[in-house]
């Protein structure tokens, strides 16, 4: 198989399909989404059969338990997929929305119209449900999609691709509106991220090393999420019960998510009071603590935090703790060691809350709230295709709006420029 030629063909087909899906009205797009759901519902058995092939090959190839778990398609996960499709159907269609239409002194009316980006490439790993999630968000936002799932999920993804094609056909849309790459050859990724004539943006979802590699080689714009080194800073003026609740929730609500706190910063003046309570609570949940010298002076059985700990995303029941002189030191630490993802201050002080919001350079900055809230659903986006740690185009949780752009519209009555 000539991978380059195959990918170029996929690109040409996607570009051609993107014009029609950009024009499609909400009714037609929802009809396709609904038909995809019907096709999945009608193919439950064959989807699970296809997935079993992936699972078996995965086990033979020695995939670890966590990976096999992510790969597995169960009846409950198929239900969740269908539920996700119905949620996307219920979302408002961003395309064509016009805003800020105002008269200018020249007499023309100028405003903006929200439009699809065009063709979106999505590169992801083992979880087959991403195929449906990505397809539905791209489709609803009027974009053509090229999906490249993990090689370990190829059978599952091809079975899902068949459901997508069926749904598109029912709605009278081109089967090239959503294309799932049929080859597991890694060269396909290299082609996808460099064919800028056919692809407008690439969204990689997966581990940091995958995303860094893709960003390095891409010629197409990448909306990327690197890592989540999130902080909670307990200020001198914190309400201590809020501080404890938020610090415990931010670390222990879930360990493996990008918006989980990895470093706790505590103002020196309240460290004596806050740390022992927190250590007890973390201890009950078996969270390993690593602290700076000042932390260790208060908490006896805490390991040393090394310089490396301040920039480590544990994704595990491990927490680094640092005592800081004041909010300015906390902000300095966050902007230096953090990953510009999500950081929260606990304070009752109005001026400090205001300054923290302004000065912390992260995609989500919070006051008196758990970092775990940094999420498309919690923010009211309805769904998210990922969380961007970039500043350009999209920052933080990326929903349907993040898959669109805005063009200018000008309405006149024969106006000419003088």
| Smallest distance, a copy of itself to C-beta of residue 42, A | 34
> Does residue 317 interact with a copy of itself by CB under 8 A?
no
Choose between 45 and 102: whose C-beta lies nearer to a copy of itself.
102
Task: Tell me the CB-side half-sphere exposure of residue 13, using CA atoms within 13 A.
Answer: 17
Comparison of 59 and 410: residue with beta carbon closer to a copy of itself: 410
Per CB under 8 A, contacts with a copy of itself among 125-184 are none
**CA atoms of 328 and 359, how far apart (whole Å):** 9
Closest approach of a copy of itself to the CB of residue 299, in Å: 23
Classified as helix, coil or strand, 340 is coil
As a whole number of angstroms, the distance between CA 68 and CA 58 comes to 7
Closest CA to 348 of 356, 340, 360: 356
Shortest distance (Å) from residue 408 CB to a copy of itself: 4
Position 110 contacts a copy of itself (CB under 8 A): yes
Closest contact distance (angstroms) between CB of 369 and a copy of itself is 3
What's the alpha-carbon Rg for the chain, to the nearest Å?
24
Residues 6+ apart with CB under 8 A from 206: 123, 124, 125
Alpha carbon 341 to its chain centroid, in Å, reads: 11
For the bound state, the minimum distance from the C-beta of residue 244 to a copy of itself, rounded and expressed in Å, comes to 9
Distance separating alpha carbons of residues 74 and 289, to the nearest angstrom = 36
Contacts of 281 (CB under 8 A, 6+ apart): 244, 248
185 binds a copy of itself (CB under 8 A): no
Is 226 an interacting residue with respect to a copy of itself (CB under 8 A)?
no
Indicate left, alpha or beta for 390 from its phi (over 0: left) and psi (-120 to 50: alpha): beta
- 89-108 residues in contact with a copy of itself (CB under 8 A) are 96, 102, 104, 106, 108
Indicate the residue among 55 and 261 with the shorter CB distance to a copy of itself: 261
Quote the least distance from Cβ 220 to a copy of itself, whole Å: 10
Which of these, 322, 299, 307, 160, lies nearest to 234 by C-alpha position? 322
Query: Cβ of residue 61: shortest distance to a copy of itself, in angstroms?
Result: 35
- First-to-final CA distance of the chain: 59
The secondary element (H helix, E strand) that includes residue 303 is: strand 303-304
User: 370-409 mask for a copy of itself (x: CB under 8 A)?
Assistant: x-xxx---xxx----------xxx-xxx-------xxxxx
Identify the residue among 136, 166, 362, 389 touching a copy of itself (CB under 8 A): 362
Q: Which of 288, 207, 208, 302 is nearest to 251 (CA)?
A: 288
Comparison of 42 and 107: residue with beta carbon closer to a copy of itself: 107
Residue closer to a copy of itself by CB (options 59, 411) is 411
Residues 43-82 that bind a copy of itself (CB under 8 A): none
Residues binding a copy of itself: what is the number (CB under 8 A)? 68
Scored b (16 or more CB within 10 A) or e, 82-101 reads bebbeebbebebbbeeeeee
Among 179, 364, 384, 386, binds a copy of itself (CB under 8 A): 364
Site for a copy of itself in 4-23 (CB under 8 A): 19, 22-23
Between CA 203 and CA 147 the distance in angstroms is: 10
| Nearest CB to a copy of itself, comparing residues 84 and 111 | 111
Which residue lies nearer to a copy of itself by CB, 86 or 415? 415
Q: Segment 250-309, which members bind a copy of itself (CB under 8 A)?
A: 250, 253
CB-nearer residue toward a copy of itself: 9 or 359:
359
Interaction between residue 246 and a copy of itself (CB under 8 A): yes
Strand order in the sheet with 261-267: 303-304, 288-291, 318-324, 261-267, 230-234, 342-346
Strand pairing category for 144-148 and 178-180 = parallel
Specify the residue, 189 or 220, whose C-beta has the smaller distance to a copy of itself: 220
Q: How far is 254 from 246, CA to CA, in rounded Å?
A: 13
Only segment of 5-13, 71-79, 246-254, 307-315 that touches a copy of itself (CB under 8 A): 246-254
Quick one: which of 11, 58, 94, 118 contacts a copy of itself (CB under 8 A)?
118
Binding site for a copy of itself (CB under 8 A): 19, 22-23, 96, 102, 104, 106, 108, 110, 113, 115, 117-118, 200-201, 216, 219, 221, 239, 241-242, 245-246, 248-250, 253, 335, 344, 346, 357-359, 361-370, 372-374, 378-380, 391-393, 395-397, 405-417
């Amino acid at each position: 198989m000539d991978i380059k030629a195959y990918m170029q063909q996929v690109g040409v087909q996607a570009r051609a399909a993107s014009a029609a899906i950009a024009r499609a009205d909400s009714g037609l797009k929802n009809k396709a989404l609904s038909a995809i759901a019907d096709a999945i519902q009608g193919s439950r058995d064959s989807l699970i059969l296809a997935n079993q092939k992936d699972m078996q090959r995965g086990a033979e190839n020695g995939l670890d338990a966590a990976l096999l778990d992510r790969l597995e398609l169960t009846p409950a996960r198929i239900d969740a997929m269908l539920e996700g499709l119905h949620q996307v159907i219920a979302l408002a269609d961003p395309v064509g929305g016009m805003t800020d239409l105002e008269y200018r002194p020249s007499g023309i009316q100028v405003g903006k119209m929200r439009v699809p980006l065009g063709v979106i490439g999505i590169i992801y790993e083992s979880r087959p449900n991403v195929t449906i999630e990505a397809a539905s968000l791209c489709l609803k936002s009027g974009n053509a999609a090229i999906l490249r799932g993990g090689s370990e999920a190829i059978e599952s993804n091809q079975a899902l691709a068949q459901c997508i094609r069926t749904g598109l056909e029912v709605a009278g849309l081109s089967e090239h509106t959503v294309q799932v790459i049929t080859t597991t050859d890694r060269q396909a990724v290299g082609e996808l991220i460099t064919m800028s004539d056919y692809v407008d943006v690439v969204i990689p979802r997966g581990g940091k090393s995958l995303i860094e590699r893709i960003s390095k080689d891409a010629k197409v714009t990448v909306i990327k999420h690197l890592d989540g080194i999130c902080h909670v800073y307990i200020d001198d003026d914190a309400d201590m019960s809020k501080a404890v609740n938020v610090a415990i929730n931010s670390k222990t609500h879930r360990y493996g998510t990008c918006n989980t706190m990895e470093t706790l910063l505590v103002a020196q003046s309240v460290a004596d009071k806050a740390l022992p309570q927190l250590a007890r609570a973390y201890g009950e949940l078996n969270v390993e603590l690593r602290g700076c010298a000042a932390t260790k002076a208060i908490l006896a059985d805490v390991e040393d935090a090394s310089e490396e700990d301040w920039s480590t995303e544990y994704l595990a029941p491990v927490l680094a703790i640092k005592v800081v002189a004041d909010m300015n030191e906390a902000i300095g630490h966050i902007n230096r060691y953090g990953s510009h993802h999500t950081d929260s201050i606990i304070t009752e002080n109005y001026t400090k809350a205001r300054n923290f919001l302004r000065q912390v350079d992260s995609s989500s900055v919070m006051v008196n709230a758990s970092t775990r809230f940094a999420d498309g659903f919690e923010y009211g986006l309805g769904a998210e295709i990922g969380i961007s740690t970039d500043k350009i185009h999209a920052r933080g949780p990326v929903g349907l709006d993040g898959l669109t752009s805005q063009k200018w519209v000008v309405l006149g009555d024969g106006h000419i420029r003088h």
